[in-house]
Amino acid sequence: MALNAKPSVGLEFDSVDMTWQFWVEYGKKCGFGVRNDYLNKRKVDGLITSERFVCSKEGSRLKDKRSSLVKKPRADTRSGCPVRISFRLRDGKYVIQEFEETHNHILQHTETTHMLASYRKISEAQAYEIEMAEDSGLMQKSSFQLMSTQAGGRANLGFTRLDVKNYLKARRQRSMVYGEVGSLMQYFQHQMLDNPSFYHAYQMDCDEQITNIFWADARMILDYGYFGDVVSLDTTYCTNRANRPLALFSGFNHYRGTILFGAALLYDETADSFKWLFETFLEAHGNKKPQTLFTDQAQAMAKALGEVMPETRHGLCTWHLMQNGIKHLGSLMKGGSDFLTDFKKCMYEYDSEVKFEAAWSKLVAKFDLFGNNWVKSMYGIKQKWASCHMNKAITLGMRSTQLMSFNSSNTLRKLLRRNDTTS
């Protein structure tokens, strides 16, 4: 049977694949998406005896499973469309038993039908381009625009930016299970056999795929017991290929040498991931909470820290603050401007709150920053970075999370090698 024929009761097809391809081509030609509704198999040999395909807008959402906290929930795409086609196996052929063709919704134009979810597809060559762009550090938005230009427009690509995001997410999940994380899990098993004090934990998502992993060897646990009052958490280390943050908990020993308290390989930098990380960190160290913990300015990290360790003083890394200042106010630092010097004085030099307030007001007025949102936000969290406030906390002289001297591309390898030599 030709795939471009119109469905009618009695038409026969040689295989299940041909029936599905027939329905896909028909839906694409008419301007609607398609779905597989059900199929029945023979118990003896698993042969499909009947099946039904429907319009993608068939049915309705029986129960709203969306969270009330979601600000922009996904729109319901179902309209109860009655369009359907049924096949039944008869004498080795699949015969159309039922066909309903009247839709209750507007159909897509032929020019845009290929962008429906049923027909969008990333080809093998396109997948290779997407992976190459990801591995080279090109932003998803930029790589998508480049591929759109090469194809003569987004409509000619055959997929959307969301498809690219989902493809890369699935790729990262596969890599987490079968790539570096699989090797890590095997490594952890060996460590636990050699040293029962070795601690590790991992988190899995709803699809039972590994996402976040934390570990601490015996020396890390012992060091934290002695020197864990002030801790730095640095997530600036990323593996080049997968772009997953490598989080390092570190601090100072009695010689002011840098020591590690734990390490984690994270899937992302969301509040949920950081909450799991902080809870796991405390579990590894007998629920002993640090007096002060320094992090960067990530809001997700601050939120998770406030929920898990509300008693711990939260300090912000001065190095990250300076980088953010250059990013937001770089135009004020040109031509011999002394803005950066004045800003550093507010950060480091004033032990008195009165002097700090006076210097800050002078800085804002001098450079006309009354309406600058970043300056306002910085002032709102001054207790986390200004010396006059941080002097009241236990810091042991720590003001930055940039304590480790590892090269970012080799950090994970060096950590594992270090554990091998100390186990």
3-state secondary structure 41-78: ECCCCCCEEEEEEEECCCCCCCCCCCCCCCCCCCCCCC
What was the pLDDT predicted at 66? Answer: 58
Type of residue at 372: N
What was the pLDDT predicted at 407? Answer: 42
Task: Report the distance separating Cα 169 and Cα 16, nearest Å.
Answer: 31
**Residue of 123, 120, 105, 88 lying closest to 30 (CA atoms):** 105
Dihedral sign, CA of 189, 171, 242, 266?
negative
> Residue ranges of the alpha helices (H) in 309-380?
318-329, 339-348, 353-366, 373-380
Task: Report the distance separating Cα 193 and Cα 234, nearest Å.
Answer: 29
The strands making up 258-265's β-sheet, listed across from edge to edge, are 199-204, 210-216, 258-265, 245-252, 230-238, 292-295, 313-316
**Residue of 177, 204, 179 lying closest to 272 (CA atoms):** 204
What was the pLDDT predicted at 243? Answer: 61
- CB distance 365 to 359 below 8 Å: no
Residues 6+ apart with CB under 8 A from 316: 294, 295, 296, 297, 381, 384, 385
Q: Look at residue 357 and give its three-state secondary structure.
A: helix
Task: Report the distance separating Cα 197 and Cα 181, nearest Å.
Answer: 21
Please give the distance of CA 193 from its chain centroid, rounded to a whole number.
Answer: 33
What was the pLDDT predicted at 423? Answer: 44
Task: Report the distance separating Cα 154 and Cα 131, nearest Å.
Answer: 19
What was the pLDDT predicted at 404? Answer: 58
Q: What is the CA radius of gyration of the chain?
A: 29
What was the pLDDT predicted at 240? Answer: 42
- CB distance 379 to 353 below 8 Å: no
pLDDT tens-digit profile, the chain (423 residues): 556 678 989 999 999 999 999 998 898 888 899 999 989 998 888 899 999 999 988 888 766 665 566 666 666 778 889 999 999 999 999 999 999 989 998 888 877 787 788 888 888 888 888 888 877 778 888 888 888 888 788 777 778 888 888 888 877 666 655 555 566 777 788 888 888 889 999 888 776 677 888 999 999 999 999 999 999 998 877 644 456 788 899 999 988 888 999 999 888 888 999 999 999 999 999 999 999 999 988 899 999 999 999 999 999 988 888 888 888 887 787 777 888 888 888 988 888 999 999 999 999 998 888 888 888 999 999 999 999 988 888 888 888 877 655 444 445 555 655 555 444
To the question of pTM greater than 0.85 for the whole model, the response is: no
Say if residue 322 is exposed, middle or buried (CB neighbours under 10 Å; 0-12, 13-18, 19+). middle
Angle between helices 318-329 and 339-348 (to 10 degrees): 150
Task: Report the distance separating Cα 127 and Cα 16, nearest Å.
Answer: 28
Residues 6+ apart with CB under 8 A from 331: none
Q: Look at residue 210 and give its three-state secondary structure.
A: strand
How is residue 164 written in tokens?
């690219």
CA triple 331-334-336, angle to 5 deg: 150
Residues 6+ apart with CB under 8 A from 181: 175, 202, 210, 213, 265
Please give the distance of CA 250 from its chain centroid, rounded to a whole number.
Answer: 24
What was the pLDDT predicted at 408? Answer: 43
Total number of residues shown for the chain: 423
CA triple 419-276-253, angle to 5 deg: 45
**Residue of 22, 306, 237 lying closest to 11 (CA atoms):** 22
> Residue ranges of the alpha helices (H) in 102-227?
124-135, 140-151, 161-178, 180-194, 218-227
Block residue for tokens 């934390």: 214
Q: Which helix (H) or strand (E) holds 37?
A: strand 34-41
| End-to-end Cα distance, the chain | 69
What was the pLDDT predicted at 273? Answer: 92
What was the pLDDT predicted at 167? Answer: 84
